[in-house]
Chains A and B, each alone.
Chain A
Amino acid sequence: DQQVKQNSPSLSVQEGRISILNCDYTNSMFDYFLWYKKYPAEGPTFLISISSIKDKNEDGRFTVFLNKSAKHLSLHIVPSQPGDSAVYFCAASATGGDKLTFGTGTRLAVRP
């Protein structure tokens, strides 16, 4: 049972435009959400996170939005840059838990 879902396996965006990556979850116990970025043959690196007490968190070009009622979150990258081309993983955890549950990832390609 995939508790965290990223339904778009890939996304292509023109440089300078906005990239929107989506993530849905089913476990209502999840209360902390993270986005990771992964380049080929490297480990994922943390990008941005959001707690369930917020509906938005912004860090530079990256903004994460959380819609708890819809169990949906999204990552906005604006403006997109070619260096943003990578696989993005959404992850979620529950208070008191010891592990993250990851989505299947979305491969973002930013065209120059």
Chain B
Amino acid sequence: SQTIHQWPATLVQPVGSPLSLECTVEGTSNPNLYWYRQAAGRGLQLLFYSVGIGQISSEVPQNLSASRPQDRQFILSSKKLLLSDSGFYLCAWSRSRNTGELFFGEGSRLTVL
């Protein structure tokens, strides 16, 4: 069966510090991978998605970047965090060329102070 894990689960970082959130998927190959953010009082905002290694599409201009160094690994990064980067970050995967169901990870709560 397929599983998705992301870490760390909780992170408290000072403004200006770097960020690295990691996500891995097991039990499937060539998945589509996604990073979403749920900010306080808002819905799920798509940040990045990837259809293959090294292929990253950015949905929203921002202070964050994403990388996909391996088929089932997706990393969300920032060089210098802003207060507005605080939120609940969710990694998700779907079967390639599928516009249907997304499978989400457990989420990472980021607080920037």
**B90-113 interface with A by 8 A CB criterion:** 90, 92, 94, 97, 99-107, 109
Please indicate the chain B residues that have their CB under 8 angstroms from the CB of A94 in the complex.
Answer: 99
Q: Is there a chain B Cβ closer than 8 Å to A77's Cβ?
A: no
Which residues from chain A sit less than 8 Å from chain B, CB to CB? 6, 32, 34, 36, 41-46, 49, 89, 91, 93-105
In the complex, how many residue pairs between chain A and chain B have their CB atoms under 8 Å apart? Answer: 62
Tell me which of B42, B51, B104, B109 contacts A44 (CB under 8 A): B104
Shortest A22–chain B CB gap in Å is: 14
Interface residues in B, total, Cβ within 8 A: 26
Residues of chain B having any CB pair with chain A under 8 Å: 32, 34, 36, 42-46, 49, 51, 59, 88, 90, 92, 94, 97, 99-107, 109
Distance from A49 Cβ to chain B, minimum over Cβ atoms (Å):
7
Specify which of A32, A41, A43, A104 is in contact with B92 (CB 8 Å cutoff): A43
- Taking a contact as CB atoms under 8 Å apart, the answer to whether B90 and A93 are in contact is no
A89 with B43: CB separation less than 8 A: yes
Decide if B34 touches A99 in the complex (CB within 8 Å): yes
Report whether A102 and B107 are in contact in the complex, using a CB–CB cutoff of 8 Å.
no
Q: Which 5 A-B pairs have the closest CB atoms?
A: A43-B104, A104-B43, A93-B99, A102-B44, A43-B107
Q: Name B32's contact: one of A6, A43, A98 (CB within 8 Å).
A: A98
- Per the bound structure, the CA–CA distance linking A89 and B106 in Å amounts to 16
Task: Return chain A residues, CB-CB under 8 Å to B104.
Answer: 43-45
**B68 CB to nearest chain A CB (Å):** 14
Beyond A41-B107, A42-B106, A43-B90, whether A98 also contacts B99 by CB under 8 A is yes
